[in-house]
Amino acid sequence: MIQRKRDMWYSSSECTIDELISYIVNKGEMRDVQIDAIKTYLYLKIACENKPLWELFSRGYFNNLNVDDLEVKASVREKLQNNPAALALYEYSTLKNEKDEQVSEKLEKAIINEIDNIDF
């Protein structure tokens, strides 16, 4: 989730580090994973204003899902639309890992079935 938002920022006109990253790449002295880590670090420091991750997630800063596209009950849809932290947790649960496996089907089902009983 963070990487998607970072990449969106990096390709936007708001990004202030593209020349720095180009310089690092052109020097050829760092591996791709190191450059990727620097991009993420600078994104969190600059674009996210160095706020704690818990705050960014709870405010839905990294959310990418369109709630209207989800096949869920209207009551669940309304909760997800009105609670960015719930949507962030739901989106996280539906992500795929490197083996193309869902991160947590149990968590997704718990959110859908018990959203009124979860304190976000």
Confidence label for 116 from pLDDT (cuts 50, 70 and 90): confident
Span between the terminal Cα atoms of the chain, in Å: 19
Predicted TM-score of the model (pTM): 0.81
Q: How confident is the model at residue 118 (pLDDT cuts 50, 70, 90)?
A: confident
- What pLDDT, in 10s, does the model give residues 42-97? 999 999 999 999 999 999 999 999 999 999 999 999 999 999 999 999 999 999 99
> In angstroms, rounded to a whole number, what is the distance separating the alpha carbons of residues 104 and 109?
9
Give the three-state DSSP class for 96: strand
41 closest CA partner among 50, 30, 31: 50
For residue 17, how many other CB atoms are within 10 A of its CB?
19
pLDDT score recorded for residue 90: 95
Phi, psi angles (nearest 5°) of residue 98: -65, -20
- Share above pLDDT 90 across residues of the chain, in percent, rounded to a whole number: 91
DSSP-derived secondary structure letter, 103: S
102 beta partners = 96
The average pLDDT across 16-32 equals 95
Gap between the Cα atoms of 52 and 57, Å rounded: 9
Residue owning tokens 């849809």: 77
